[in-house]
Amino acid sequence: MLTYAIRRVLAFVPTIFITLTLIFVVTRLVPGSPVWALIGNQSVDAARMEEITRQLGLDRPILEQYLEWLPRVVTGDFGQSIFFGRPVAEIILERMPITFALTLLAMIVTIAVGIPLGILAAIRRGGFLDYIGNIFSSLGMALPSFWLGFMLILIFAVELQWLPASGYRPLEFGFWPWLSRMILPVIALSLAQIGLIARMTRSTMIEVLGMDYVTMARAKGLREHVVILKHALKNAMIQIITVIGLTFALGLGGSVIIENVFALPGLGQLITTAAIRRDYPTLEGGIFYLTLVALVTNLIVDLAYAYFNPRVRYGK
Amino acid sequence: MIISMPFLSIWFRRTNAMLITGSFMLLLLLAGSIIAPLLFALDPLAIDATRKLEAPSATYLLGTDEFGRDTFARIVYGAHVSLRVAFAATALTAVVGIILGTVSGQSRLADAIIGRISDSLLVFPGFVLAIMILAAIGPAEINVVLAVFLLYVPRVIRTVRASVIEFITADFVQAARSVGIGNFRLLAVHVLPNATGPVMVQLSFGFAWAILVEAGLSFLGLGLPPPSPSWGNMISDAREFIRTAPWLMFAPGAMISLAVLSLNLIGDGLRDMLDPRLQNKINL
């Protein structure tokens, strides 16, 4: 296990470098000087223009820029935000908890609803519940999450007035003010994932339920719930764990758009505003941190998978 | 060559509810968006300042937006825009994915390079990569196509590569080679048709996904520039009026869902048909 873990963690290092390099290359694809894109339509004198160019280091050759940029960002220093005028790392640290809370809550809801739904659908295959579950998950995956978000606002905030439409309150203002503003975003974010995880659980369970050892357990005369929970689900869990990690990564990606719907000042909202304002240091930093969290999640999932399934460790 | 496409023969053997429902829905959508402009005088860009934010009525089936533009016309032309972007991205993905997948299935060096690049494209969660690309090259239809293509092409490359590796060593391919058939013909006639099924499944999900990504990007203001009546743009425009004119929000979202659902059903249907293991499971 240890050898596998070490190998896996070592493989993580080049991935980080490739990610950073890709971020560097893409954000510098801009035709012409990015400074022009940056200042947009504002009238700026030549001195200010030169100052920004120098500040961003754009007056130097690209390779030199890269060699200066890479060691700096590896330590987490993405420089000053052009729009906010503060260190990028500081802004990201402020916003990270919001994105993290949103994604984590969505993951909990997804697991709590998706896995039981998938198990029930697998047990009652072809039955009414399977049918309803299938329709639910097909619809969940087809609805654009941001549109679903607006529909939820329309129903629960505008019509019923049960929950606030959007915005964010830090936990210091109390638990309910915080949670009440998280409920709708979490539902909007988790619906598509519930469909996905329910489907995965269903097909994995069906596969496991067809195994000889399950037939054997039944033949021994064990009760059905013992067969399903102890024999089938335990083995199916190995596959399902992978999906849980996937859900978290998906949630991180989805949070980008959901935070914009509900005006949650998280990392996703930061990335989109930085993209629209062409605040490159912030954009680079935001994307890197979001990707890093997704990568670390994947790493943890891989390690957990290897822990539960020894075949992965020894096989190639 | 047609006979060697495995999915066609199964097509006729098995009726498939999901595939039929999905295809029917998609055809309906396509036909509607083509026929509607022929029957009615529709202009998605015509501004009428006297009829701002009108509720749905007999003249304006889906109401009007903040510029007095006909929402129904914008929905119909939105289908043209959104489906065109998604189709272009999917077609580009198919062509490049098949070529690069074949190349990496054959050469170790190319495989190492292409594999590394496509893996690193998959590292970014969601469509964060697309956001980054569009921030750099600016919002425009062609740029959205390019971003969606870059996001999805690694998956197609993988699928094609797996099929090429699987079949290049197969006996019937070796037999063809021994008869003296050239490499290109060998790949095009004997190897690649075996990848048709899996690639078709990938592409129908990819098409659905492209519609969602385009809508999402347009919603964020990074997709198609206004006044283009893309469905994502329409949702983005409608958010300001969610309390006063909620009907503006309904139609574009419903259309996106319908298009995505129909393509997902086609993808699921094709996969069930092509994966014999899954079929057995269903017949159990």
Dist. CA A76–CA A70, nearest whole Å: 10
The pLDDT value given to residue A105: 93
Instruction: Supply A16's token pair.
Output: 């980080």
Q: What is the DSSP string of A201-254?
A: HHHHHHHHHTSHHHHHHHHTT--HHHIIIIIIHHHHHHHHHHHHHHHHHHHHHH
Instruction: Give yes or no for A283 touching B (CB within 8 A).
Output: yes
CA distance A219 to A239: 25
Tell me whether residues B264 and A291 touch, CB distance under 8 A. no
> Residue A39: its pLDDT value, please?
62
Reference A117, options A187, A52, A198; nearest CA is A198
- Is residue B248 assigned to a domain? yes
Q: How many helices (H) and strands (E) does chain A have?
A: 14, 0
Say if A154 is an interface residue toward chain B (CB within 8 Å). Answer: yes
The span from the first CA to the last CA of chain B, in angstroms, equals: 34
Cβ neighbours for A83, distance < 8 A, ≥ 6 positions apart = A273, A274, A277, A279, A282
- Per-residue pLDDT of A158-199, as tens digits, reads 888 887 877 788 878 877 878 888 889 999 999 888 888 888
The DSSP line for A96-154 is HHHHHHHHHHHHHHHHHHHHHHHHHHHHTTTSHHHHHHHHHHHHHHHS-HHHHHHHHII
Percent of chain A at pLDDT above 70?
Answer: 92
CB atoms closer than 10 angstroms to residue B33: 18
Confidence of residue B192 (pLDDT cuts 50, 70, 90): confident
pLDDT at A18 over 80: yes
Q: To probe the interface with A, which of B114, B128, B143 has the most A CB atoms within 10 Å?
A: B128
Q: Which residues of A touch B127 (CB under 8 A)?
A: 253, 256
User: How many Å is the Cα radius of gyration of chain A?
Assistant: 24
| List of chain B residues whose C-beta atoms are within 8 Å of the C-beta of residue A248 | none
pLDDT digits (tens, 9 = 90+) for B89-117: 999 999 999 999 999 888 888 888 888 88
- pLDDT tens digits for range B15-26: 577 888 888 899
Write down the pLDDT at residue A201: 84
- Give the contacts of B43 (CB within 8 A, at least 6 positions apart): B70, B73
Q: pLDDT tens digit string along A69-108?
A: 888 888 878 887 877 878 888 899 989 999 999 999 999 9
Tokens of B20: 């039929």
Nearest residue of A to residue B215 by CA position? A144
Q: pLDDT of A110-120, one tens digit each?
A: 989 988 888 88
Query: Cβ contact (<8 Å) for A253 and B125?
Result: yes
**Which residues are registered as beta bridge partners of B70?**
B64
Query: What is the crossing angle of helices B247-274 and A128-142, to 10°?
Result: 120
pLDDT average, residue stretch B50-71: 71
**CA–CA dist A299, A12 (Å, integer):** 8
How far is residue B69 CA from its own chain's centroid? 28
Alpha carbon of A148 to those of A62, A109, A114, A190, A258: distances in Å?
43, 16, 18, 11, 10
Give the count of domains, chain B.
1
User: How many beta carbons lie within 10 A of that of residue B167, not counting itself?
Assistant: 18
CATH number, domain of B109, equals 1.10.3720.10
Determine the pLDDT at residue A31: 57
- pLDDT for res A43: 62
Q: Is the pLDDT of residue B278 over 80?
A: no
Residue bearing tokens 């825009």: B81
The Cα of B257 is separated from the nearest Cα of chain A by a number of Å equal to: 5
- Cβ proximity of A85 and A32 under 8 Å: no
Q: In the predicted model, is pLDDT for residue A273 greater than 50? A: yes
Specify the 3-state DSSP secondary structure of A314: helix
Instruction: Tell me the one-letter amino acid at B105.
Output: G
Tell me: pLDDT of B284 over 50: no
Within-domain flag for B20 = no
What value does the mean pLDDT of chain A take?
82
Place of tokens 């596959």: A239
Contact A81, A282 (CB under 8 A): yes
Residue B170 resides in a domain: yes
Q: If we measure between CA atoms, which residue out of A294, A282, A219 comes closest to residue A249?
A: A294
C-alpha dihedral sign at A216, A222, A228, A230:
negative
Residue from B113, B122, B124 whose CB has the most chain A CBs within 10 Å, to mutate: B124
Check residue A207 and give its pLDDT: 82
Span A22-50, pLDDT tens digits? 888 888 766 555 566 566 556 666 777 77
CA distance B188 to chain A (A): 32
Backbone Cα Rg of chain B = 22
**Domains of chain A from N-terminus onward:** 2-74 (no CATH), 91-308 (1.10.3720.10)
Cis geometry, peptide bond prior to residue B227 (ω within 30 degrees of 0): yes
Query: Does residue B63 contact residue B244 with C-beta atoms inside 8 Å?
Result: no
Is the link from the previous residue into A97 a cis peptide, with omega within 30 of 0? Answer: no
Closest CA to A129 of A114, A118, A139: A118
Does residue B2 belong to any structural domain of this protein? no
Q: How confident is the model at residue B281 (pLDDT cuts 50, 70, 90)?
A: very low
Dig out the tokens for B135 from the structure. Answer: 């921030």
Backbone angles phi, psi at A139, to 5 degrees: -65, -45
Tell me which chain A residue has its CA closest to the CA of residue B259: A142
| pLDDT class of B282 with cuts at 50, 70, 90 | very low
DSSP annotation of B225: P
Question: pLDDT tens digit string along A247-264?
Answer: 888 888 889 999 999 989
Query: Quick check: B86 pLDDT over 90?
Result: yes
Q: Residue A216, Cβ neighbours under 10 Å: how many?
A: 12
How far apart, in whole angstroms, are the C-alpha atoms of residue B181 and residue B174? 10
Mutation choice for B interface testing from A23, A158, A257 by most B CBs within 10 A: A257
Max avg pLDDT among A51-65, B25-39, B136-150: B136-150
Provide the ipTM. Answer: 0.83
What would the pLDDT profile of B222-237 be if each residue is shown by its tens digit? Answer: 888 878 888 888 888 8
Task: Tell me the C-alpha distance between B211 and B83, whole Å.
Answer: 7
Cα–Cα distance between A128 and A130 in angstroms, integer?
Answer: 5
Q: Confidence band (pLDDT; 50, 70, 90) for A313?
A: low
CA of A291 vs chain B CAs: smallest distance (Å): 5
Q: What is the pLDDT of residue B11?
A: 47
Q: Which of A257-266, A297-306, B13-22, B256-265 has the lowest mean pLDDT?
A: B13-22
How far apart (Å, rounded) are the C-alpha atoms in residues A102 and A91? 18
DSSP structural state of residue B192:
G
Please tell me the predicted confidence (pLDDT) of residue B154: 92
Q: Is residue B13 part of a domain?
A: no
Q: State the nearest Cα–Cα gap between B131 and chain A, in angstroms.
A: 7
**Alpha-carbon gap, residue B32 to B80, rounded angstroms:** 11
Q: Which residue has the tokens 């860009």?
A: B45
Give the model's pLDDT for residue B261.
92
| pLDDT tens-digit series, residues B122-160 | 888 878 888 988 888 888 889 899 999 999 999 999 889
Q: Is residue B24 part of a domain?
A: no
What pLDDT, on the 0 to 100 scale, is given for residue A38?
Answer: 61
Look at residue B5 and tell me if it is in a domain. no
Confidence label for A215 from pLDDT (cuts 50, 70 and 90): confident
Q: Which two tokens stand for residue A79?
A: 């420089």
List the structure tokens of A148: 């679903």
* Structural domain boundaries, residue B103: 29-281
Report A:26-55 residues touching B (Cβ under 8 A).
26-31, 37
pLDDT at A203: 83
Distance to chain B for A300, nearest Cα, Å: 15
Token digits of residue B65: 């937006």
Alpha-carbon gap, residue A126 to A117, rounded angstroms: 14
The reply to whether the predicted model has a pTM over 0.90 is no
